[in-house]
Structure 1
């Protein structure tokens, strides 16, 4: 796979788009697209296990990060390609070792320096560190910076000289079976401190969590917020789901549900066997959007605005509904809370908690304005991060922070180095952070099952980040206890330890990564000291990284302010002055606008250019469903002085998370632009871009790159030509915009496929028809994500909004091509719309009805383009499809239909004239 066509076109024009004697790398000509696509769906390539160490957003799959780093650093040798394929697909250690040696030998200064200026949780630096090169990560968020250290710094260090821990080792038969005896020192010690913190917290809160009859802590407590009724003034609970669990399939097990009983001026909850017998008190009415609350006593309905108003007025209270236990032979069951359990929870008095260091034990940091979309509880009257939990949940986390600080102090007192004590405290704090995901008013009970075979029935705690990066909120929520079960400390430690062990095992020759908190627009590095910047920039308006992670920050700084003062010694929440996103919401004075995003991204890339060596590479991994975001990204790269030399699509997102709204991310290779580039005319650059893309398509076809991926890969050769000039001017002297060449690149891919319909070139058809034909060839009748649909429309200078309804239908699954009849046809209708109308007309009235459609659309019987479209639709559809059947019949009767057009048109004209004549009772004869 190569972009040689683009390079040749640029050279032919006498333009050098990049400076100096550039060191060729594989990313300039080749990328393992198919291997990334195959790997991201596997355990080894998805990055899910690494994610278990630390929570961050928009997680980049390991396979794509590895491919980006390897292709950026590897010399442009064919022998390196198979090694990269093996490393990406299978994590082949021998291949990685061979590549590591090749890479280090390719750089005259020795080990190359790789920098990620938006490092997040550190996946890209991790892959660089595994090669034994100098890997550096910076991120504006201290939370993300901690994640990078835990993933790609501490696991790569040798801790063998550290003294023994002062705590009882966490070792038992079950651990040996699960992990074996030969564990790395770091894994053993992390397990020990995790167990120490767990025991200390359990001892501290035991009086507020009475044990069940089996002598164990319950695993869960189901709560609901209550409000006073506007009509009868009695308090009632807001419950959105009455189901507790589905039948397990065991004899006599009918599942469990919640029942709310009004008793005078009070109410109580009961747990019943079987399906729910009662409607929720907080739900959407049948046939209506938006939820409302129905009083349990008098049935009065409260609008959502009314319910929210009660929160802002301080009228919410928490009530315990049910308790979840683990019982031998029965699994997890629910029961009504005992009186002592209700009283124990009510005894929590947060006002008496001593401070943690120099901070209040309960986070009193206000949730910034305009965060209703990200911190959703703030839209219901909860004002601080401490308000996001009920008092007992807050107590549990306050005691956890206190235990982490005490364990850290004990490590230092026992002689542990400052770095090792910080590392161990960091892993414990990360475990607390992961538990936070299932421990606020947004953590709901999740019951699975109820299918025909009654298999796979279980209950879980729903992650508060179920919507990727938004802190959920709901009125009926689950509290996990200090024992075992979903959402508990015990449940999150196992996966974290396994992830840590995996990272260490797969990094035998790694150099520790270096992570610093820093703004991308003010990098703390000298000029010309970095060989490659490989980064994954913020996704425009998709994720509010800082606001979403402030929940973590306010708790982490209570644990780690003295441990990692470079990250957590700040006041308030995280500083977002330089955060490069487009902020959602309508906060007054919000500075993170589209203009800010573009300006700051340009400044960040300019900083990357400053720290890069003259022959260095900038590689950007990016994905977004909005072409405007792409324009801003590519514009920022150009403004910063880079030339895009390649772009390589990978279908990564849904394989990794299952919920992301984009399916394709693109790895974009860039080089520093030449200092003096010529000026060119639009006509000249149009020709060169078209030639370069078509040359690249020939190689992509040979390499098996899918046509849909070629459409996005075309940006590389197009931008390399475009970036070879300082200006591209129209005959009138105006500068041609970047968007012109993105559209031209995609059109060139389509034209390079030389699609013909009955020997008629596709470009001779009207734009909507070209779009529809290309869509049908690419996607058939499948649903297509919004981003791909929008980009495809660009190839014909069409807007998705114009196509919605006319040519496309939209659903939750995406967009689908319409083959049913349009609402109407006219002489302005596209050929594709007329063909669809012909199919419907055949079913309704045969030849005469079809002739009527042609007459109305002012089409002639010998319209070759129209009949070519009819034939194309038939070819692309199964013979059993109703539209295919109808149009096949139309084709067979084409001669008859043609002879009828003039008759039908004349009859319609006569009828129209007759209707226009005055009648006996018309006004003209009155």
Structure 2
């Protein structure tokens, strides 16, 4: 690996006259709809590339490709169709024309694209494929390695390297035929060699089954001593091993716990479980508890009691069942043999030889305050080595040692150190991907259903099933050294397929360059970069370093001597350095420095560094997504403080398509330019008017382009921030400076106003704020569940707090928020029009005309209030006719005259001196 230093970045500062700010596509256009469609396809999602190396916050290939193209291409409509073709289909002719157009923009040399938070390297990969100079930096050594494996090594020419000193497969067949590229062929050979050597090295610890093969898996459970009877028992969360499957007449299999005197053992039985798990939630109660299975005891242990037993060092591992592969790929389970029980009792980790000068079993402590991220630490596990059982530790230690041996043999045979290091890197990545399926967080995943109607495959669930949090389970799976889910060979196949795809789609690419560096101290010259395109850490969504330290401790033992620039300079605790990690840390660690203020300060410093290395006509493009408006405020504030003007923001609904689960649905590609050095001062009145006019003009363009209204609300930040950035200061009438929040809210309000919503010819802005919110929500989402982030953003448009709307106008569930159309709890003279109308619908069902009239009178509204009756019409227009609320309001409309007369009489009868006009409604408050 040749390092990227200041001198190695080509300078192209003379290609454009000083002060000439060149407009790019990103400033005026972005293929949002094309990206949205492409991220749901195998080619555009990035899922294949993700299989090379486990990392977090996967950036879809389609979005990264669009961001790179839009940042480098000139703002000419002639390129729009080629961009779409390239993103949708990878059209070779379109790609060639775009590469030529980019090259024409930079006649003095290739443009330089830098990603200062490169992660796994998706953005540099897309830049490298265009033939430009692509550079990626990341504070994490693991992320830096991921970038090299994805966007450097596959694009390099290794054809001059001698043959590997490894025996080729006797059948001469590769996974992808005879014409596979050199790197792909050699990585396949190395992975096979490592797998075979490790199987030999650990074969005594994994007795073969009667068919001569290694079992594919072993099911374990943690045991604890009962607080009451003191007898030890296993914590089993599920007794299902394999669900039944009617199509193949498979009745399924289950664990059975047999208790005899003071001992217990497990057996495997056909059919569904006949017992209840020993660790589960009690019927009707939240939270799990552990039940002693001995008939004379049955003591229940709370979760806190179970945790205290672990913190007391009393957990022990016990082998429960063994998984085998029969008849091709069919999985079955059996009870362990006596030999299988005995071999695991003979393991002594103290006899393992050190790896790269470090203890073979990772003794690095899990930092305090990581219960949220490394879940096992909440149960008393203190080191990363304790996250797996002793036999797993021996197998992974053997794997690390074999990878080192194979690399050394390659160098001794004349292979270059660089190529041997690259091959070892792919093998270490395979070790890392197997770790993802091989700790106490990896549980048995039995597909299918109890009624046998679904296919009943058995797999291993990975430890990041809850996004970036390292899971923990008391019952977990250990993969064997042979073949099957979670094994070395199974993981190898997916990694090789990913490498094949990267190479096949990069026929004319130029290798990227990756180095470990902090985003606040970039090792590059001033003005040496044409575009900084980056995907910064998402505020408090992911604890990148803490979540990946499990990988770091093992890869450091594997690659420390081969990649000293990445693995020979850990933090003081032996883990990844976190002093400059720009996140908001989850959890409550004492003295934690990664706070909200730290995030904003460091992000501003990072953007200031990006500004320093950018050319005067360069662009910064930021891809960001978060459900919390505060995160957006801090991001945009950091950009402004660093001296950038936001020129555009383009939303893409990318996250669920990539990850399957996500706490956000929309990410935004934000275009930025360096702010002019001498900017004027403006009044808030002037800036407010310009923002409203600019956003409304943009809305007209977005309407023509078919932008969804919900996406326009987020895209509005771009033009609003462009106006905000034009001025050095914006002064309010009292002389104070206008806050950023003012213009984020104004942007969304302008979108809503630009839609010119009217209720019975009454402009929406003439209604009270909660009613405006409710009506706009109903137009956007009807009765659908809305994620918390989108709900919070929508509330901002009317200067409302989501917390104040919960229960009043919205109901909350795990699926998100939904607009209430049922009866409110109370109605007062301060109730919104929308609430009064809901109360009118409920009152009709109970007291007909008289009830509705009473509601109107006690709300102190004129019975002929046009706003009141406009909302009645609006709710009716949005609800299906079969809805009970719609039926009630239809009757209210038909009897409007009678209701008006009754309401007038009721109001006249009320005591004029009465100050408490609240009407308590004894109505059914459940949602219709």
Q: In which range does the TM-score fall when normalised by the shorter chain? A: over 0.9
Work out the CA distance in 1 between the residues paired with 2:637 and 2:147.
29
Matches within 5 A, 1:153-192: 153-170=152-169, 172=171, 175-176=173-174, 178-192=175-189
Q: Is the 8 A contact 1:223 1:478 kept in 2?
A: yes
Could you say what secondary structure the match of 1:557 adopts?
Answer: helix
Could you say what secondary structure the match of 2:826 adopts?
Answer: coil
Work out the CA distance in 2 between the residues paired with 1:735 and 1:170.
72
Provide Cα deviations, 1:413-454, integer angstroms capped at 9, x if missing partner: 111111100110000000010000000001001111127662
Work out the CA distance in 1 between the residues paired with 2:612 and 2:249.
71
Provide Cα deviations, 1:879-917, integer angstroms capped at 9, x if missing partner: 11111111111111000100111333455659999xxxx
Q: Which residue of structure 2 aligns with residue 380 of structure 1?
A: 379
Q: Is the 8 A contact 1:19 1:672 kept in 2?
A: no
Work out the CA distance in 1 between the residues paired with 2:482 and 2:827.
68
Q: Which residue of structure 1 aligns with residue 788 of structure 2?
A: 786
Q: Which residue of structure 2 aligns with residue 151 of structure 1?
A: 150
Q: Which residue of structure 2 aligns with residue 474 of structure 1?
A: 473
Work out the CA distance in 2 between the residues paired with 1:892 and 1:191.
76
Q: Which residue of structure 1 aligns with residue 435 of structure 2?
A: 436
Q: Which residue of structure 2 aligns with residue 586 of structure 1?
A: 588
Provide Cα deviations, 1:567-606, integer angstroms capped at 9, x if missing partner: 0113410000100000011111111011100000000000
1:659 deviates by 1.0
1:717 deviates by 0.8
Counterpart check, 1:504 vs 2:506: no
Matches within 5 A, 1:910-921: none
Q: Is the 8 A contact 1:848 1:904 kept in 2?
A: no
Could you say what secondary structure the match of 2:449 adopts?
Answer: coil
Could you say what secondary structure the match of 2:222 adopts?
Answer: strand
Provide Cα deviations, 1:186-242, integer angstroms capped at 9, x if missing partner: 000000000000011000000000011111111110000001111101001111111
Q: Which residue of structure 2 aligns with residue 818 of structure 1?
A: 820
Provide Cα deviations, 1:486-520, integer angstroms capped at 9, x if missing partner: 10011111111111011011001100000000000
Provide Cα deviations, 1:845-887, integer angstroms capped at 9, x if missing partner: 2111111111121121110001000101111111111111111
Go from structure 1 to structure 2 and tell me whether the alpha carbon gap of 1:170 and 1:854 turns closer, same or farther (over 3 Å shift): farther
Work out the CA distance in 2 between the residues paired with 1:250 and 1:356.
50
Q: Which residue of structure 1 aligns with residue 798 of structure 2?
A: 796
**RMSD of aligned residue pairs (Cα, Å):** 1.5
Go from structure 1 to structure 2 and tell me whether the alpha carbon gap of 1:197 and 1:60 turns closer, same or farther (over 3 Å shift): same
Q: Which residue of structure 1 aligns with residue 131 of structure 2?
A: 132
Provide Cα deviations, 1:650-702, integer angstroms capped at 9, x if missing partner: 00000110111000000000000011111110000000000101111111111
The count of corresponding residues between Structure 1 and Structure 2 is 894
TM-score, structure 2 length as denominator? 0.95
Q: Is the 8 A contact 1:449 1:455 kept in 2?
A: yes
Matches within 5 A, 1:56-95: 56-95=55-94
Provide Cα deviations, 1:55-104, integer angstroms capped at 9, x if missing partner: 00010110100110010001111111111111111222221121111011
Q: Is the 8 A contact 2:68 2:126 kept in 1?
A: yes
Deviates more, 1:242-251 or 1:761-770: 242-251
Matches within 5 A, 1:18-37: 20-37=19-36
1:260 deviates by 1.0
Could you say what secondary structure the match of 1:277 adopts?
Answer: coil
Deviates more, 1:899-908 or 1:843-852: 899-908
Q: Which residue of structure 2 aligns with residue 699 of structure 1?
A: 701
Could you say what secondary structure the match of 1:699 adopts?
Answer: helix
Go from structure 1 to structure 2 and tell me whether the alpha carbon gap of 1:599 and 1:251 turns closer, same or farther (over 3 Å shift): closer
Work out the CA distance in 1 between the residues paired with 2:240 and 2:857.
60
Matches within 5 A, 1:493-532: 493-532=492-531
Work out the CA distance in 1 between the residues paired with 2:280 and 2:71.
52
Q: Which of 671, 682, 693 is equivalent to 2:684?
A: 682
Q: Which residue of structure 2 aligns with residue 243 of structure 1?
A: 240
Q: Is the 8 A contact 2:125 2:134 kept in 1?
A: yes
Provide Cα deviations, 1:121-161, integer angstroms capped at 9, x if missing partner: 00000000000000000000000000000000000001100
1:710 deviates by 0.7
Work out the CA distance in 2 between the residues paired with 1:794 and 1:170.
63
Matches within 5 A, 1:280-679: 280-297=277-294, 298-328=297-327, 331-450=330-449, 454-571=453-570, 572-679=574-681
Q: Is the 8 A contact 1:115 1:136 kept in 2?
A: yes
1:290 deviates by 1.5
Q: Which residue of structure 1 aligns with residue 254 of structure 2?
A: 257
Provide Cα deviations, 1:512-560, integer angstroms capped at 9, x if missing partner: 0000000000000010000000000000000000001100100001110
Work out the CA distance in 2 between the residues paired with 1:599 and 1:60.
25
- Structure 1 stretches of 4+ with a deviation exceeding 6 A read 910-913
Counterpart check, 1:227 vs 2:229: no
Work out the CA distance in 1 between the residues paired with 2:18 and 2:891.
63
Q: Is the 8 A contact 1:19 1:674 kept in 2?
A: no
Q: Is the 8 A contact 1:260 1:268 kept in 2?
A: yes
Could you say what secondary structure the match of 2:202 adopts?
Answer: helix
Work out the CA distance in 2 between the residues paired with 1:643 and 1:41.
32
Work out the CA distance in 2 between the residues paired with 1:96 and 1:170.
38
1:250 deviates by 5.1
Go from structure 1 to structure 2 and tell me whether the alpha carbon gap of 1:172 and 1:758 turns closer, same or farther (over 3 Å shift): farther
Go from structure 1 to structure 2 and tell me whether the alpha carbon gap of 1:354 and 1:698 turns closer, same or farther (over 3 Å shift): same
Provide Cα deviations, 1:693-715, integer angstroms capped at 9, x if missing partner: 11111111111111111111111
Q: Is the 8 A contact 1:242 1:258 kept in 2?
A: yes
1:170 deviates by 3.6
Work out the CA distance in 1 between the residues paired with 2:291 and 2:454.
34
Work out the CA distance in 1 between the residues paired with 2:247 and 2:63.
44
Structure 1: give runs of 5+ residues left out of the alignment: 1-17, 914-926
Deviates more, 1:280-289 or 1:470-479: 280-289
Work out the CA distance in 2 between the residues paired with 1:19 and 1:879.
65
TM-score, structure 1 length as denominator? 0.95
Q: Is the 8 A contact 1:19 1:673 kept in 2?
A: no
Could you say what secondary structure the match of 2:246 adopts?
Answer: coil
Deviates more, 1:695-704 or 1:425-434: 695-704
Structure 2: give runs of 5+ residues left out of the alignment: 1-16, 916-928
Work out the CA distance in 2 between the residues paired with 1:91 and 1:661.
30
Work out the CA distance in 1 between the residues paired with 2:62 and 2:706.
20
1:20 deviates by 2.4
Q: Which residue of structure 2 aligns with residue 725 of structure 1?
A: 727
Work out the CA distance in 1 between the residues paired with 2:484 and 2:328.
15
Work out the CA distance in 1 between the residues paired with 2:721 and 2:288.
49
Could you say what secondary structure the match of 1:153 adopts?
Answer: helix
1:311 deviates by 1.0
Could you say what secondary structure the match of 2:57 adopts?
Answer: coil
Q: Which of 744, 747, 759 is equivalent to 1:745?
A: 747
Work out the CA distance in 2 between the residues paired with 1:602 and 1:172.
57
Work out the CA distance in 1 between the residues paired with 2:270 and 2:836.
59
Q: Is the 8 A contact 1:170 1:191 kept in 2?
A: no
Work out the CA distance in 2 between the residues paired with 1:858 and 1:438.
64
Higher relative contact order (CA 8 A, sep 6+): 1
Work out the CA distance in 1 between the residues paired with 2:810 and 2:95.
46
Work out the CA distance in 2 between the residues paired with 1:906 and 1:427.
84
Could you say what secondary structure the match of 2:633 adopts?
Answer: helix
Q: Is the 8 A contact 1:187 1:501 kept in 2?
A: yes
Q: Which residue of structure 2 aligns with residue 828 of structure 1?
A: 830
